[in-house]
Amino acid sequence: MTRRALDVGLKGFTDPELLALLVYQQSQDITALTTANQLIDRFRCLSGVLMASRADLEHIAPAHAPDGLRALKSSTALHLNLIRELSRRVLRQKVGRRPLLASSVLVRTFLAASLRHEPREEFHVLFLDHGNGLIADEVLARGSISRVAVYSREVMRRALELSATALILVHNHPSGSRKISADDRAITLEIVRAGQTLGIEVHDHLIVAGDDVISLRA
């Protein structure tokens, strides 16, 4: 595969072949394609592999493995995590170079890449300046697989510290559920009302559910 990549490039490679090439380059393991397929089976897709934790990557145990348990080398697992972090930072830099409301597709791509494979709920706030440029993307709360507690006073306190004039609220549904819960609506309204008293606008509350990003405003 290395020779093929050098001769004709990477565009014609399948997802398992690309992953196998990376695994082989790190480990020189001739079973790299088998390992790549096992990883994709375990984590469902290529993006799932890239979003997996190092601990999970180091302890793959596919049921159909002919030689029992297989583990990914720590250096290979770290390399996969590095690719994920580099990709996330590239998207983050693109998002930060333009007004967020003018690049909604890019923002949704960035949020989906950051949150769709997180095993627990996280509540993020995108703090914006008067031109809707991104000041900061911060995690204000982490929770369980189905619930996260966030407080409007903490959101507003941080907004004032950053001199933000607008916000976009974001959280994920690890289950992939597209359902907007009563709690989702309640905390949104609470933060909107708190913002109104301080002159801070809440543009939207986005929910990352698998590959979808749902807008409460919509």
My answer on whether 48 and 107 are in the same domain is no
Q: Is the confidence at residue 126, as pLDDT, over 60? A: yes
Q: What is the mean pLDDT of residues 61-90?
A: 67
The number of distinct structural domains making up the chain is: 2
Q: Is the confidence at residue 123, as pLDDT, over 70? A: yes
Tell me the pLDDT tens digit for each residue of 20-63. 888 888 777 777 888 888 888 888 788 778 877 777 777 764 44
In the chain, % of residues over pLDDT 90: 31
Instruction: Write down the pTM of the prediction.
Output: 0.67
Token digits for 4? 């093929």
My answer on whether 64 and 123 are in the same domain is no
| Separation of alpha carbons 38 and 67, rounded Å | 12
Angle at 39 between CA 143 and CA 31, to 5 degrees: 155
Tell me the residue range of the domain where 123 lies: 99-215
pLDDT interval class at 4 (50, 70, 90): confident
My answer on whether 48 and 146 are in the same domain is no
Q: Is residue 58 one of the residues assigned to a domain?
A: yes
Decide: 94 and 100 in contact? Cβ < 8 Å. Answer: no
Query: What pLDDT does 101 receive?
Result: 61
Domain boundary among 85, 118, 147: 85
Q: Within 13 Å, how many C-alpha atoms sit on residue 137's CB side?
A: 18
